[in-house]
Amino acid sequence: MISKGFAASKIHPSAIERVWIQMKVVKVSDQVKFKSEKMNKVSLFDSDRFFCDVYCLEPGQAQKVHAHEGSDKIYYLLEGKGRITVGSQEKELQAGDITLAPSGDVHGVVNHTGDPLVMLVFMAPKPQ
């Protein structure tokens, strides 16, 4: 009868085992912290399947152009402007813009402005 009950409710039984886990809600602006020496990455969520970080760049700071085979990355700009490279292209993005760096493509960002740059960043799957 119990297994029928689970099936009827369309809730996977394993979900029942997880009810003790606290739902984590983060106010992203509370996590924004800059470092004078280099761009600061603040981890919001680090699951088995992806990273979700906030990148905080003071004027002049950058994430060097790099690539990782097998993982895609999303950049979503929360505050400020930045020059983002994906593959052979570089574009200026501003708050509210989003872009994708596909697996294997070189990518990076520089805060070329005089104001802070804050971005939400997702990468999946986690690089091996």
CA–CA gap between residue 57 and residue 59 (Å, rounded) = 6
For its own copies, which stretch binds (CB under 8 A), given 35-43, 55-63, 65-73, 110-118? 65-73
φ, ψ of residue 63 in degrees (nearest 5): -105, 120
Which of 42, 58, 97, 113 lies at the binding interface for its own copies (CB under 8 A)? 97
Among candidates 73, 96, 101, 99, which has minimal Cα distance to 86?
101
Task: Check binding of 32 to its own copies (CB under 8 A).
Answer: no
Which of 4, 49, 114, 128 lies at the binding interface for its own copies (CB under 8 A)? 49
Task: Check binding of 7 to its own copies (CB under 8 A).
Answer: no
CA–CA gap between residue 109 and residue 23 (Å, rounded) = 32
Task: Check binding of 63 to its own copies (CB under 8 A).
Answer: no
CA–CA gap between residue 67 and residue 106 (Å, rounded) = 4
Task: Check binding of 120 to its own copies (CB under 8 A).
Answer: yes
Task: Check binding of 5 to its own copies (CB under 8 A).
Answer: no
The two tokens of residue 2 are 């119990």
Query: If binding means CB under 8 A, how many residues of this protein chain bind its own copies?
Result: 51
